[in-house]
Structure 1
Amino acid sequence: MAAPARKPRPQHVLTVDSTQQLGPHLVRVVLTGDSLADFGAAEHTDAYVKLIFVDPALGLEPPYDLAALRESLPAAQQPVTRTYTVRAIDRAARRLTLDFVTHGDTGYAGPWAMTAQPGDSAVVRGPGGAYSPRPDVDWHLMAGDLSAMPAIAAALESLPSSAKGVVLLEVEAGADALDITAPEGVEVSWLVNPDTGDADFLARAIDAAPWPTDVSEGAVQVFAHGERESIKAVRRVLKQREVPRGSISISGYWARGRTEDVFQAEKKTPVGMIED
């Protein structure tokens, strides 16, 4: 018997409360709305939502029947979804904070975040998520690019004060580095890599990190997410260091030269797979 279809995560119709330029490639948008009081469970530090963009010329009011729209609309008017990690959720205050990586006018969500004004509407579906740092692990490695920063920052805030580990964050410019809170025993390094074509940059830094001798299950936990080719190189290093697969959270969040639609479509093809 086939498994029952998964119930779609709820849509939240929200309003922009404020925006803030955190760095040359990062914009913070705070959304508010009464439905955030019921915004899922706070189980994972890599919680994410999908922003839903529908052509305003259609004159539709959210929440949207996405299945019906995808069946009835021509390709040029199909709804667009973009995935973003939750930086913070305050259910009591009904506030959801998202950080957007931006590269000029490229894409949908980045340009929207750059031009968003208080009072603008936004529709998100979620949350999803799968990772939380284990408080009993001896050593944590968290690594990624700016797209992974919200999840890493949230994970660091959830760690006990006694936690130990290394955080490696790859950015294009030093101005992208932010002050993030971490336990005293966790070393946070911002690694400037202006050569966006160097997919092995982060992997080399991970390989050179001060690894503990014991990398067995329960001794080490790894969170590594970011650009797809970069994360493939990271996976190779983790295999060489014989880190157990069960101790690793790893995936590509995006792929250079691909729209999110193409990136998502490629996930189950050979080019899109992180694992060999």
Structure 2
Amino acid sequence: MPFDSPQTADAPQAPERAPRRRGNQAVLEVVRKSRISPRLLRITLGGEQFGEVRTNDFTDAYVKLLIAQPGSDLHPPYDLDAIRAQDPASLPCRRTYTVRSWDHEAHTLDLDFVLHGHGDGADEDGIAARWADLAQPGDRVALSGAGGGYSPDPAAAFHLLIGDHAALPAIAAALERMQDDARGIALIHLEHQDDVLNLRHPAGVEVRWLIGEREQLLAETAAVDLETVEGLQVFCHAERGLTKQLRRLLVTERQIPREAISISAYWALGRVEDQFQAEKREAIGKIDE
């Protein structure tokens, strides 16, 4: 879930409460960075504390980054209790990002950041994207995690993957994990054609890029011919309002068993992540009806 944009005002949180104990934080260094498309920046993190990250085998594994407020002059690791007591307004912001890949031999992980400005920490980008855009090798960042819960089931007869730019790292990781004889369709929405990536995937899985209006995800999902729901596995993660519509289509109309679907919103239009996360406990933030 790498969305940190003006549409979410800092998407896929006043700063959300971060882990209270310094021991929950692993401090990693920027090893390298590369622009893999005009609006997608990959940051490789590693260092001596890589072993303190709770890695997992899920293809939607995610970590929580702690990003210092601009001008706060704070450096990781953070004594969050002390900051909260002395100057709560300067608490680091917590942002959620999907791990694109792990390299356990090199002790590194890759995170992909969506950029919407013109680089150099443009104001159009959110706090995490600005940090990534300005980051240099050797810069340090604190993170916690990883969480996650989905991986493609080798026994699934058909895979349906649905997502936008925020879900792209998880979809890409899932495609790479699938068996060579896997069958399915991946529907990926992007705003710009030049951000399309060459993803490695089984020959039997069609990767369909939808450029322009994000509502195309709903229309294309409705048009997918699912002759039977038996053996189907679904991964569906996008903007909250659209995800609710997709959930209604998949579960209520198509009668796909809920246990066969990994579905949640990675971000919400017009919400910073703090607000988005807090609303998950309210009616507006609930995906399941």
With normalisation by structure 2, the TM-score equals 0.85
Equivalent residue number for residue 235 of structure 2: 223
Residue 38 of structure 1: CA displacement?
Answer: 4.7
Greater CA drift, 51-60 or 244-253? 51-60
What secondary structure sits across from 2:276 in the alignment?
A: helix
With over 3 angstroms needed to count, the CA separation of the structure-2 counterparts of 1:156 and 1:69, relative to structure 1, is same
Does the Cα contact within 8 Å between 1:38 and 1:91 map onto a contact in 2? no
Please, which of 95, 98, 103 is the counterpart of residue 82 of structure 1? 95
C-alpha displacement at 1:58, in angstroms?
5.2
1:23 aligns with 2:42: no
2-structure distance, mates of 1:135, 1:41: 21
Partner of 1:237: 249
Q: Find the counterpart in structure 2 of residue 73 from structure 1.
A: 87
Match of 2:9 in 1: none
Residues of 2 paired with 1:7 and 1:74: CA distance? 13
Contact 1:69 1:79 survives alignment (8 Å): no
2:186 is the alignment partner of 1:202:
no
Which of 269, 279, 282 is the equivalent residue of 1:256? 269
| Residue number in structure 1 paired with 2:28 | 14
Are 1:48 and 2:50 counterparts? no
The alpha-carbon deviation at position 133 of structure 1 amounts to 1.0
Partner of 1:165: 184
Instruction: Please say if 1:273 is aligned against 2:273.
Output: no
Give, in angstroms, the shift of residue 257 of structure 1. 1.1
Aligned-residue Cα RMSD (Å) equals 2.0
Distance 2:60 2:34 in 1: 21
| Structure showing greater relative contact order (alpha-carbon pairs closer than 8 Å, 6 or more residues apart) | 2
- CA distances 1:204-223 after superposition (whole Å, capped 9, x unpaired): 11111232x2203xx10000
CA separation of 1:264/1:78 partners in 2, compared to 1, >3 Å: closer, same or farther? same
Residue ranges of structure 2 left out of the alignment (5+ in a row): 1-18, 118-122
Moved more, 63-72 or 82-91: 63-72
Q: Which residue of 2 aligns with 1:101?
A: 114
Q: Return the alpha-carbon distance in structure 2 between the equivalents of residues 55 and 186 of structure 1.
A: 42
CA displacement 1:183-214 (0-9 Å, x = unmatched): 11110011101x4xx5x321111111232x22
Judged with a 3 Å threshold, the aligned counterparts in structure 2 of structure 1 residues 141 and 263 are, in CA distance, closer, same or farther, namely same
1:176 is displaced (CA, Å) by 1.2
Measure the CA separation in 2 of the matches of 1:172 and 1:262: 24
1:41, distance to aligned residue in structure 2 (A) = 3.8
- Bigger CA drift: 66-75 or 139-148? 66-75
User: Which one of 111, 128, 131 corresponds to residue 112 of structure 1?
Assistant: 131
Q: Equivalent of 2:144, from 125, 132, 135? A: 125
Identify unmatched segments of 5+ residues in structure 1.
Answer: 1-5
Q: Which amino acid in structure 2 is aligned with residue 90 of structure 1?
A: D
Mapped partners of 1:134, 1:39: distance in 2: 25
Counterpart for residue 39 of structure 1: 53
1:272 deviation in Å?
Answer: 1.2
Task: Name the structure 2 match of 1:3.
Answer: none
* Residues matched between the structures, number: 263
| 1:153 maps to 2:157 | no
Segment drifting more, 163-172 vs 118-127:
118-127
